Structure 1
Amino acid sequence: MKEININTQLIAFESLNELSTNDQSLMQRAIEIRKNAYAPYSKFKVGAAILLDNGQVVVGSNQENAAYPSGLCAERVAIFQSGAVYPDAKIVKMAITAGSTENKTTKPIPPCGACRQSIFEYEFKQDADIEIFFMGETGEVYKSNSIKNLLPLTFDKNFL
């Protein structure tokens, strides 16, 4: 038997104001699109903005459905849209913000497990890391240089 240690590393910014101007702009796009979320059941709105290597920004917000599995998270809306519209572009970075209409969210909220796997699929496909910034409505912003920090034991086509 042996013990395996898995380490992860994130960068914490006290607020949006500590980010570079470009990263602030990307997060502002995520904040704006969060308003378009359709979340009548969870009351939890999420916005995502993706910067592609061709300079385009693709956005997405969560879209719920009374049949819960039929809805889709903001991160996957944005990432699948980027793959559909710009199939040859690489994803450089992603900004995610989440907020509840019932409780103020002040801590960084990372992507769910399904979104982590979807982000990893694109990171693996493009053979390049994707920077991920995430926050609540206000407060700290966390940055991961790769989805592998949030999903350290990845599953890809090599296992199939």
Structure 2
Amino acid sequence: MAEPPELYKNGLSNDEFHSLYPLITKDLLGALRQRSISAKTHAYCPYSNFRVGATLVTIQGEYFDGANIENAAYPVGICAERTALGTAIFTLSRKNRGDGSCDNQSHHGEGNKIKPEDFNFIALAIATDGENPVSPCGMCRQLFVFLLRALCFTSAF
């Protein structure tokens, strides 16, 4: 298997990147890479045949995977990144609420607001079958800007 690509952020080498962002270790990147590659095997993409897998990780080391799901009506499909984020938010909000189910009506009011401290995302990895990196679509970017600013562990950045 090929080595992960060099990380470039403002011209930084891998070593410089890891010294500035110590939570994003080489081992973490390897795990994210493997999980996102595995996640893309669950993609449903009969129209584009373009499989995408995504993995989010929290500072607590919890991983959340997603794959793209296509539909003949294009806007009805969902990207891997949003699948992973939706799974993470749903799972962590249920876990942190402590009721374990949606049968408890008490959480449907003000007490069920998403709290940033419940999430603490530190990284997102995306894998495709292509040889070149692919950036998230506009809808995913908008969701990330809207939600992840509030839900990320900002000391990682």
TM range (shorter): 0.5 to 0.7
Tell me the distance in 2 between the aligned counterparts of 1:73 and 1:10: 29
3-state SS of paired residue (1:123): helix
Q: Cα deviation per residue 1:28-53 (whole Å; 9 max; x = unaligned)?
A: 10000101100000111100011012
TM-score by length of 1: 0.64
Conserved? CA contact 2:52–2:126, under 8 Å: yes
Matches within 5 A, 1:1-160: 9=10, 20-87=26-93, 88-99=118-129, 105-126=130-151, 128-129=153-154
Q: Cα deviation per residue 1:99-123 (whole Å; 9 max; x = unaligned)?
A: 2xxxxx2111111111111112222
TM-score by length of 2: 0.65
Structure 1: segments with no counterpart, 5+ residues = 1-7, 14-18, 100-104, 132-144, 146-160
CA change 1:12–1:113 in 2 (3 A) is: farther
3-state SS of paired residue (2:60): coil
Q: Number of paired residues? A: 115
Pair member with larger Rg: 2
Tell me the distance in 2 between the aligned counterparts of 1:10 and 1:62: 31
Tell me the distance in 1 between the aligned counterparts of 2:53 and 2:138: 16
More strand by share: 1
Supply the RMSD in Å over aligned alpha carbons: 2.3
CA change 1:54–1:64 in 2 (3 A) is: same
**1:54 CA drift (Å):** 2.4
More helix by share: 2
Conserved? CA contact 1:123–1:130, under 8 Å: no
Conserved? CA contact 1:93–1:130, under 8 Å: no
CA change 1:113–1:92 in 2 (3 A) is: same
3-state SS of paired residue (2:144): helix
CA change 1:74–1:94 in 2 (3 A) is: same
Read off the aligned partner of 1:94 and give its amino acid letter. Answer: L
Conserved? CA contact 2:64–2:87, under 8 Å: yes
3-state SS of paired residue (1:50): strand
